[in-house]
Amino acid sequence: MTATPIFSPAKINLFLAITGRRVDGYHDLVSVVAPLGFGDTLQVEPSPEGRFTMECDDPAVPTDESNLVLRAATAFAAATGGRGGAHFRLEKRIPVGAGLGGGSSNAVAALRALNDRAGRPLAAGRLAALAASLGSDCPLFLHDGPVVMRGRGERVEALPAPAAARLRGRRILLFKPGFGISTPWAYGRMVAAAPRHYLAATEAEARLAAWLDGDAPAEDLLFNGMEAVVDAKYLALPMLRDVLREEFDLASRMSGSGSAGFALLRADTPTGAVTARIREVWGAAAFVTEAKIS
């Protein structure tokens, strides 16, 4: 069989409310998440050695068993009793440590590819359960459009069509400074500050319902309850959002636990000038790219 290329999209959290800590140590959340037309590409080809192996064009990405792609492949083989292996070639474009879901997206791309090549032995429900066992962000990547995530992220449902239509096709600017942020560290800061930065589930659901039931644009949905704890240490993040708001009138938020952020673009936004300004604030090493919500 020839190599199979699978697109592995980045995601952004347009709305992210952390509602409390669970007894299992995870956090409950309510979040609107959207995949982007920007992401990685995962090539999957047969392995003559009958093992799961991988390579990546980014030397900073581990290619041993700690990588979620190989963990996903091992979990798939265990769930299906599959024999044989595969070799994965990852073309990495999503920055690491950005809050853009790159590793989770790569894992689900691997699951989808292996399931397709094996004749789809896992139905949607079993595939979703397997994805959830790999990471809280993984199940959302089984959907091809904006979703609402609840629980620790394993409860995922597609956004209603009228609401999704207000998001699909919106142009955004993605940006990340020269440093990443550890997700466990960010959630640890939430615990230390609790309950100050948690948003009650009833309030989170009320805010979300108000947006879903109306016709307000995406700008009115934006919220990230993790910004306060992350911003307190990484002052460059709120500084840039202030610049984008004050100089360009752009709505901007951090995605997930950071360090990447995004701004919603208008038809008249001078994207080149915004990009140049981001690099003035964060330095020439800052990652900046335009993308669209899928």
pLDDT on residue 24: 86
pLDDT on residue 74: 95
Q: Are residues 201 and 78 in the same domain?
A: no
Domain stop point among 161, 186, 209: 161
Predicted confidence (pLDDT) at residue 4 exceeds the cutoff of 80: no
Catalytic, out of 28, 40, 137, 176 = 137
Segments in the chain forming alpha helices (H): 68-80, 102-117, 124-134, 161-165, 183-193, 201-213, 227-231, 236-248, 271-282
Q: How confident is the model at residue 190 (pLDDT cuts 50, 70, 90)?
A: confident
Catalytic, out of 11, 28, 40, 176 = 11
Query: What's the mean pLDDT in 145-155?
Result: 94
Q: Are residues 128 and 195 in the same domain?
A: no
Q: pLDDT tens digits, residue range 153-184?
A: 989 999 999 999 999 999 999 999 999 999 99
Q: Are residues 25 and 76 in the same domain?
A: yes
Q: pLDDT tens digits, residue range 54-112?
A: 999 999 899 999 999 999 999 999 999 877 789 999 999 999 989 999 999 999 999 99
Q: pLDDT tens digits, residue range 104-141?
A: 999 999 999 999 999 999 999 999 999 999 998 999 99
Q: Are residues 109 and 222 in the same domain?
A: no
Kindly report the CATH number assigned to the domain that includes residue 197.
3.30.70.890
**Tokens of residue 181, six digits:** 């942020």
Q: Are residues 131 and 43 in the same domain?
A: yes
Domain stop point among 114, 134, 161: 161
Residue 176 catalytic? no
CA-nearest of 236, 226, 252 to 286 is: 236
The pTM for the full model equals 0.93
Kindly report the CATH number assigned to the domain that includes residue 74.
3.30.230.10
Contact predicate 264/251, CB 8 Å: yes
Four-CA torsion 125, 131, 136, 140, nearest 10 degrees? -70
Query: Mean pLDDT score of the chain, rounded to an integer?
Result: 94
Q: Going along 3-51, which residue ranges are E strands? A: 4-21, 27-46
Domain stop point among 114, 138, 161: 161
pLDDT on residue 266: 96
Residue 11 catalytic? yes
Q: How confident is the model at residue 1 (pLDDT cuts 50, 70, 90)?
A: low
Alpha-carbon distance of 193 to 190, in angstroms, equals 5
pLDDT on residue 193: 78
Q: Are residues 283 and 211 in the same domain?
A: yes
Q: pLDDT tens digits, residue range 191-202?
A: 887 778 899 999
Q: What angle do CA 159, 163, 164 make, to 5 degrees?
A: 60
Residue 254 belongs to what domain range?
167-292
Q: Are residues 35 and 137 in the same domain?
A: yes
Q: Are residues 154 and 179 in the same domain?
A: no
Q: Are residues 205 and 65 in the same domain?
A: no
Q: How confident is the model at residue 48 (pLDDT cuts 50, 70, 90)?
A: confident
Q: Are residues 143 and 47 in the same domain?
A: yes
- Cα 243 from chain centre: 24
Q: How confident is the model at residue 2 (pLDDT cuts 50, 70, 90)?
A: low
Q: Are residues 77 and 212 in the same domain?
A: no
Contact predicate 18/58, CB 8 Å: no
Q: Are residues 95 and 203 in the same domain?
A: no
Total domains present in the chain: 2
Predicted confidence (pLDDT) at residue 219 exceeds the cutoff of 80: yes
Contact predicate 279/175, CB 8 Å: no
Q: pLDDT tens digits, residue range 253-273?
A: 999 999 999 999 999 999 999
